[in-house]
Amino acid sequence: MPDTDQRSAHRPPAHGIEEGDHPLPGWWSVAALVSAVLAFGSLFLSVIRPDLTDPAASYERAVTAELQAQFAEIGNLAPTAGTLGSFITDPEKGRWLRVGEAIFTANCVSCHGSDGAGVSGPNLTDDHYIRVRELTDVADTVIGGSIAAGMPAWKDQLSMNEIVLVSAYAASLRGGFVDGKEPDGEPIAPWFPGSAD
């Protein structure tokens, strides 16, 4: 029996077209094999190491690495009056106060407002404070929060450098006297003796 008859016995012609039993092209077989290997490899990685395939985790790692690179320039900060004051008064450190503003915008505006005039939290632009008597009390409040006032503690969400920078920014808002929430607490002395803030 001729070769064409064997093919016809297996597959009858459709619309007068005979099909041949041709092997797949080599490039197609290679492409299918590579795709299968990559698919199983990706599946394996996503189960064993989901942090490597998660875009949110990848972004978080990139942001953390960038912050660490930036913070390497200023070292490990401590929330002392000298450190906080230097970020408020030293023009060379002004860009770091903008970092503090970004941290404030990301975490504090829901209670203190975008300009610090207060929403549910106190107005930070006037001279009246509830728990603050000196500059370091600002950082202490950010670190430990205030259960009575509904202020969360940020010590577990922010690094110490971020706490220092956001505290310096919040303290720098004082004296802006933005119309907003009525003053809370008692008026306190200026941050820097001999100045009106």
For residue 180, what is the domain's CATH number?
Answer: 1.10.760.10
Q: What is the pTM of this model?
A: 0.66
Are residues 68 and 81 both part of a single domain? no
State yes or no: pLDDT of 133 exceeds 60. Answer: yes
**Count of domains observed in the chain:** 2
Domain boundary among 75, 94, 128: 75
Are residues 166 and 91 both part of a single domain? yes
Are residues 81 and 71 both part of a single domain? no
CA distance 84 to 117: 21
Domain boundary among 75, 104, 129: 75
Cβ neighbour number for residue 184 with a 10 Å cutoff: 15
Beta bridge partners of 17: 14
Mean pLDDT of 121-134: 92
Distance from CA of residue 119 to its chain's centroid?
23
Are residues 100 and 174 both part of a single domain? yes
Are residues 61 and 123 both part of a single domain? no
pLDDT at residue number 86: 93
Percent of the chain with pLDDT strictly greater than 70: 88
Are residues 133 and 167 both part of a single domain? yes
CA distance 137 to 120: 20
Beta bridge partners of 146: 151
Candidate from 46-60, 68-82, 99-113, 135-149 with smallest mean pLDDT: 46-60
Between residues 116 and 50, which one has the greater pLDDT? Answer: 116
The whole domain housing 172 covers 77-187
